[in-house]
Structure 1
C-alpha cells in the first residue's frame, strides 16, 4: 500500500462526533483522533466518565442518550454551536443476552434494536444536512462480524447488527450524490471492560468465558486505530467494509482456545 495514504492531507476532515465515548471502542476512538489533532465531540450517557475523558483528551463532551429524540436535537444544537463536524462516527451499541431464540427476552431484543439501529439512524438523520453541505462528509458505522453470519445464542444481536449493516449499505447508495463517504467497520472478538459483562447481565464468570483461552483478542485500541486510519485517508478513498478479527478467530465458528493461555492468565 502507498505509504502516503496514511499521511493527513488538506483533504482530510478534522472535526468528528463519536458516540459510545464513555467506554471501550468509542473511548479509544476519541483518544486516537484527538491525539492526531482532531476536534472531537464525545457523546455518551455517563457524564462522569465523559468529564474524565475531556480532561484527558480535550474532547468536547455531550452527555446524552442517542435513542431519545430530545437528546439528539440537543446534540445537534451543541455541535452546530461548536463549529459543526464533517465526520460522524457511530460507535454506540452493544449486546444483551446470549439465549437461543426460544428463550430470548423481548426487552433485550428491543434494547439492542433501539441502540444499534435506531440510535444510528437518528444521529445520521440529524447530521445529514450538515454532512451534505460539507461535500466531503463521512459517516462511519461500527457494526460487527455478527452482521455477517448468525450463530447460536446470538440471534438478537445478529438481528440488530444485520439491520445496522443494511442501513449502512443503503446509506452509501443514497448519499453518494452528495459525495458522502460511508464506511463500515466490522470487528470480531474484541475484549473490552464492559461488552461481554453487559451481555451476560453483569455475570463476571460468564463474561470471562467469552475470551477464555484466546491468546490475543482484539482490543478497543486495535479497532480505534482502524477507525482512525479509515477516516483520515483522503476523502476520495472509501473503505466500504473493513472486517477485522484476532488471528485466533478464523471465523465466527472457529476460535482457537488454548488451556495454557488460561493458565497464564
Structure 2
C-alpha cells in the first residue's frame, strides 16, 4: 500500500493457548469495500476485534503483528482511541442498548468520535435511515431485527469513522432487509467511508466488495479481486453453493487454482 488506508500485517491472536489467527495480513485501501469470507470459527470476528482493540473483552490477545491506519499504529491504542482515530466496529448480533431510546443509542455512538459535529452526523444517519428519525423516542429493544441492524450501523456512523468494520450485517435478516442493508453499505462507501465487511453471505459480500479474502481456520487461504474470487471454482463450491462437476474433477486431479494476495 501507499500508506493510505487500513493495513493489517502478520497478525496472530490467541485465546489462552488456542491460536485463533495466524499471521493474517490484509489491506483496506482508502475508499474501498473489502470483504472477508469464511465459515463459522474461521476467525472473522476475532480479526475485527483485533483491529478495534476489543479482544481483551472476549479473553483474547494479539501475540504478534501490527494494525495501522495511514501508517499510524492502532494496535497500541485503547479501544476508545481507535474510534477517535477513525475506525469503528458494528458487532455481530447488533448489540444495541435495548432499554435506551433510539436517540440515546445514537448519542452514545457520538462519544469519542473524531469527525464532524453531532448534528451533522445525526443528519447523515437520518438521511440513510429515515425510520430511525421516526422512532427516535422508542426503546431500541422494541425495534425489528432489521431496524436494530440499521441502528447498530447508524450508531457507529455517529463517530464519523473513516473505516467501518461490519460483522455479519445480514445475519438473521429476511432477504429484502438484507438487500436494504447492502444498498446502505454501498451508499456509506459512496460517501467516502471505507468498509471492511465480514459476511457469511458470500454472494452478497462479493457483489459489494472490490477485493476479498478467504479466512479458514485462522489463516488467509485465498485473496484477490472480488470478481475473480466470485468466478473461482473453489469459492463457488465452498461459499456460493455452485457445483461444476467438470471443474470439481479437474480440481481433484490438478489442484484448484489459487489466487495470490492482491497488490493495491
TM above 0.5:
no
Which of the five TM-score ranges fits, normalised by the shorter chain? Answer: 0.3 to 0.5
- Give the TM-score, by structure 2 length: 0.35
Which has the bigger relative contact order, CA under 8 A and spacing at least 6? Answer: 2
User: Which structure's residues are more often helix, by fraction?
Assistant: 1
User: Which structure's residues are more often strand, by fraction?
Assistant: 2
- Give the TM-score, by structure 1 length: 0.35
